[in-house]
Chains A and B, each alone.
Chain A
Amino acid sequence: MSLGIVMLVHDALDRAEQLVRHWATHGCPVVIHVDTCVTRKDYADFVAALDDLDNVKFCKRRNCEWGTWSLVAASQTASEVLLGSFPDLRHIMLVSGSCLPLRPISEMLAYLQDRPQTDFIESVTTEDVPWTIGGLDIERFTLRFPFSWKRHRRLFDRGVEIQRKLGVKRKIPGGLVPHLGSQWWCLTRKTLSAILNDPQRPVFDKYFRYVWIPDESYYQTLARRHSTRIESRSLTLSKFNFQGKPHVFYDDHLQLLRRSDCFVARKVWRYADKLYDSFLSDQQLVVAGAEPNPGKIDRIFTKAIDRRTKGRAGLYMSSRFPSEGYRGNLTAARYTVLEGFAELYDGFDDWLADTVSARIHGHLFAEDKVHFAGGGQEFFGALSDSANLRNYNPTAFLTNLIWSTRGERQCFHFGPCDNQDVSWVMAKDANARIYVVSGAWAVQLFHSNRSFPDIRREAARLQKIESEHLTALRSGYARARTQIWSLADFVLNPTELLQNVVDDIGPRTPTPLINLPRMKPLQGFGQFLQDLKNQGMHPYLMGDFPAGHDLVPATRIQRKPYLVN
Chain B
Amino acid sequence: MRLKRRRLIWRSIRSRRDLVPVVDRTDRIEPGQVRAFVTARNEYTRLPYFLSHYRALGVGHFLFVLNNSDDPSQAFLADQPDVSLWRTDASYKAARFGVDWITWLQFRYGHRAWCLTVDVDELLIYPHWDTRNLTALTERLTQTGTPALGALMLDLYPKGPMDRPTYTPGQDPAEVLQYFDASPYRAQRQWPAQNLWVQGGPRDRAFFADRPARAPTLNKLPLMHWNRRFAYMNSTHSALPPRLNCAWDGPACISGDTRLSGALLHTKFLPDVVTRSREEKRRKEHFGQPGDFDRYYDWLSSAPDLWHDKAVPYKGWRQLLDMGILSDGGWA
Contact = CB atoms under 8 A, between A and B. Distances in A.
A377 B146 CA distance: 41
A354 B332 CA distance: 44
A268 B207 CA distance: 48
A383 B212 CA distance: 13
Task: Pick the most buried of B189, B210, B330: most chain A CB atoms within 10 A of its CB.
Answer: B330
Given A245-B144, A307-B330, A319 B259 contact: yes
Interface in B111-148: 128, 131-133, 135-136, 139-140, 143-144
Interface in A360-394: 377-384, 386, 388-389, 392-393
Nearest to B205: A384
B123 to A, nearest CB: 17
Contact of A382 (B213, B219, B310): B310
B44 interface: no
Contacts of A320: 249, 256-259, 324, 327
Contacts of A317: 152, 185, 187, 261, 324-327
B186 interface: yes
Contacts of B248: 318-319, 321
A220 interface: no
B29 interface: no
Interface stretch (A28-36, A185-193, A246-254): A246-254
Interface string B158-191: 0000000000000000000000011111111100
A311 interface: yes
B3 interface: no
Interface in A320-360: 320-328
B209 interface: yes
A386 B255 CA distance: 32
A142 interface: no
A284 interface: no
Contacts of B325: 317
Nearest to A303: B332
Interface stretch (A123-131, A258-266, A395-403, A418-426): A395-403
B75 interface: no
B308 A311 contact: no
Interface centre among A321, A324, A380, A386 (most CB of B within 10 A): A321
Interface stretch (B5-13, B196-204, B272-280, B285-293): B196-204
A252 B128 contact: yes
A241 B257 CA distance: 14
Given A328-B256, A388-B212, A301 B332 contact: yes
A311 B136 CA distance: 23
Contacts of A325: 254
A325 B254 CA distance: 6
B151 interface: yes
A322 to B, nearest CB: 4
A310 B256 contact: yes
A308 B189 contact: no
Nearest to A246: B143
Interface residues of B, number: 60
Nearest to A271: B135
A326 B252 CA distance: 10
A389 B215 CA distance: 10
A319 B185 CA distance: 12
Interface residues of A, number: 56
Contacts of A396: 184-187
Contacts, number: 179
Contacts of B252: 323
B181 A311 contact: no
A309 interface: yes
A81 interface: no
A537 interface: no
Nearest to A322: B256
Nearest to A313: B256
Contacts of B186: 316, 392-393, 396-397, 400
A308 B258 contact: yes
Nearest to B208: A389
A448 interface: no
Interface string B233-253: 000000000000000110011
A39 interface: no
B329 interface: yes
Contact of B131 (A247, A252, A388, A400): A252
Contact of A403 (B143, B183, B249): B183
Given A252-B131, A326-B254, A382-B202, A308 B330 contact: yes
Contacts of A316: 185-187
A327 B256 CA distance: 9
A305 interface: yes
Contacts of B205: 378, 382, 384, 386, 389
A440 B287 CA distance: 49
A521 B100 CA distance: 70
Interface string A217-246: 000000000000000000000000111010
Contacts of A305: 330
Contact of B310 (A300, A304, A380): A380
A393 B186 CA distance: 7
B30 interface: no
A27 to B, nearest CB: 33
Nearest to A305: B330
A250 B310 contact: no
B150 interface: yes
B239 to A, nearest CB: 14
Contact of A397 (B150, B184, B211): B184
Contact of A321 (B140, B211, B253): B253
A384 B132 CA distance: 37
A148 interface: no
A204 interface: no
Per CB-CB distance, the 5 closest pairs between chain A and chain B, nearest first, are A308-B330, A304-B332, A319-B261, A396-B186, A382-B181
Interface of A: 241-243, 245, 247-248, 250-252, 269, 271, 300-301, 303-305, 307-313, 315-328, 377-384, 386, 388-389, 392-393, 396-397, 400-401, 403-404
Given A320-B249, A400-B183, 9 more contacts: A310-B256, A317-B327, A318-B152, A319-B326, A321-B253, A381-B181, A381-B183, A382-B310, A389-B209
22 contacts: A241-B330, A248-B139, A248-B143, A250-B128, A252-B132, A304-B330, A307-B330, A311-B257, A311-B258, A312-B324, A317-B261, A321-B248, A321-B249, A322-B256, A326-B256, A328-B256, A378-B309, A380-B310, A381-B310, A382-B181, A382-B205, A393-B188
Interface of B: 128, 131-133, 135-136, 139-140, 143-144, 150-152, 181-189, 196, 198, 202, 204-205, 209-213, 219, 248-249, 252-261, 308-312, 323-332
